[in-house]
Amino acid sequence: MRLATSGSGRGGRLALAGAGFAGHQVAEALVPVLLGLVVDRAIGRSDPGALLGLLGALAALFAALILCWRTGSRLTTGVYAYGEHDLRLLATGRALH
């Protein structure tokens, strides 16, 4: 298992993938908080400037959410694929020698 996850320098990429997925979870948790701010500060007070600013912040939060997920997913897929390849090479080497 160690060869598959951390061999050939994959440990760093796996850690970055985990950080990307953690960032995604933090952004997911912040969505209802930001929606509450939109309702309280912009809609409740009928402030169009605050509404535009908070909707821009919400759009930026969703962009960060998507970026974190894609980064984590891409890095995890690479770690998985290269780990499989190394395990196949190891099995082939043992079978041939």
4-59 pLDDT, tens digit each: 566 677 888 999 999 999 999 999 999 999 999 999 998 888 989 999 999 999 99
Which are the contacts of 61, defined by CB distance < 8 A and separation ≥ 6?
27, 30, 31, 34
According to the model, what pLDDT value does residue 5 have? 61
Residue 65 falls inside a structural domain: yes
Contact 81, 7 (CB under 8 A): no
Q: Which structural domain range is residue 92 located in?
A: 14-96
Residue 78 falls inside a structural domain: yes
Number of domains in the chain: 1
How far apart, in Å, are the Cα atoms of 3 and each of 51, 54, 75, 93, 96? 51, 46, 17, 14, 19
Residue 8 falls inside a structural domain: no
**Cα–Cα dist 16/20, whole Å:** 6
Residue 70 falls inside a structural domain: yes
